[in-house]
Amino acid sequence: MIGENYKAVQENIDKACADTGRNRDEVTLIAVSKTKPVNELMEAYNAGARDFGENYVQELVDKIPQMPADVRWHMIGHLQRNKVKYIVGKVHLIHSVDSLRLAEEISKESVKNNVVSNILLEVNVAGEESKWGGSLEETIELVKQAAQLPNIKIHGLMTVAPYVENSEDNRQVFVKLKKLSVDINAQNIDNVNMSVLSMGMTGDYIVAAQEGATLLRVGTGIFGARNYNK
């Protein structure tokens, strides 16, 4: 079931790219596996998944040694500064950097471990109070300041769009994030290359792919509903 779901989502992405003339190689599906057991992650892995997204530091560090070494781990959940030390050097990309203080902590731990950490800056495009990330304006400032820190590399932007019944309602959110990344790129800031756009989840990943996402974060659409009460 999970393997079939994974392949069906990949086919939907193929179609979204074909419909909009995008190069399919630019778009990577991340299997968001928070709360799911390792045997279920392996079903996705066996269907071809190599990129996995997790939200909680403890769960992430528990799963890493239980999965094959060629998995690329993505930290997509809100990250507390005191937890940074547990994941630096272990993850492929941190999507959820939403403050200069967090970027500074990632930089400090990366220097200590002699690694370069790849990060995205989280943007609250719709200005929802319940969501993390800075506004469009704040993000430009954050990029400029974080770009000066050692041992981190800013690759792009991430957003968690509002929950909507109709995915079309989020199209403008994705258009705005894409435009912000183009605007920031045009400023030619040292150490910044806005080539990655992490946007789109189960309810709206097709629209996100149409609007320029390079990373799609799909959980429910691959693994089924999450049960937080287990």
Residues that bind ligand PLP (CB under 6 A): 32, 34, 55, 76-77, 160, 201-202, 217-221
- Cα separation, 105 vs 181, whole angstroms: 24
CB 215 to ligand PLP: min, Å: 10
How many CB atoms neighbour CB 182 within 10 A? 11
DSSP string for residues in 144-194: HHHTTSTTEEEEEEE--PPP-SSGGGGHHHHHHHHHHHHHHHHT--TTEEE
Report the greatest alpha carbon distance in the chain.
48
The pair of structure tokens assigned to 3 is 């393997």
Residue closer to ligand PLP by CB (options 46, 220) is 220
Residue closer to ligand PLP by CB (options 134, 221) is 221
Q: Which residue is nearest to ligand PLP (CB)?
A: 219
Residue 7 in 3-state DSSP? helix
Residue closer to ligand PLP by CB (options 75, 106) is 75
CB 187 to ligand PLP: min, Å: 27
CB 196 to ligand PLP: min, Å: 14
Residue closer to ligand PLP by CB (options 107, 198) is 198
- Cα separation, 103 vs 147, whole angstroms: 9
Q: Measured between alpha carbons, how far is residue 95 from residues 3, 119, 155 in Å?
A: 25, 6, 10
CB 21 to ligand PLP: min, Å: 25
CB 148 to ligand PLP: min, Å: 27
The pair of structure tokens assigned to 86 is 């547990």
Residue closer to ligand PLP by CB (options 22, 34) is 34
What stretches of the chain adopt beta strand conformation (E)? 28-32, 51-54, 72-75, 93-97, 117-122, 152-158, 192-198, 215-218
Residue closer to ligand PLP by CB (options 88, 218) is 218
CB 126 to ligand PLP: min, Å: 14
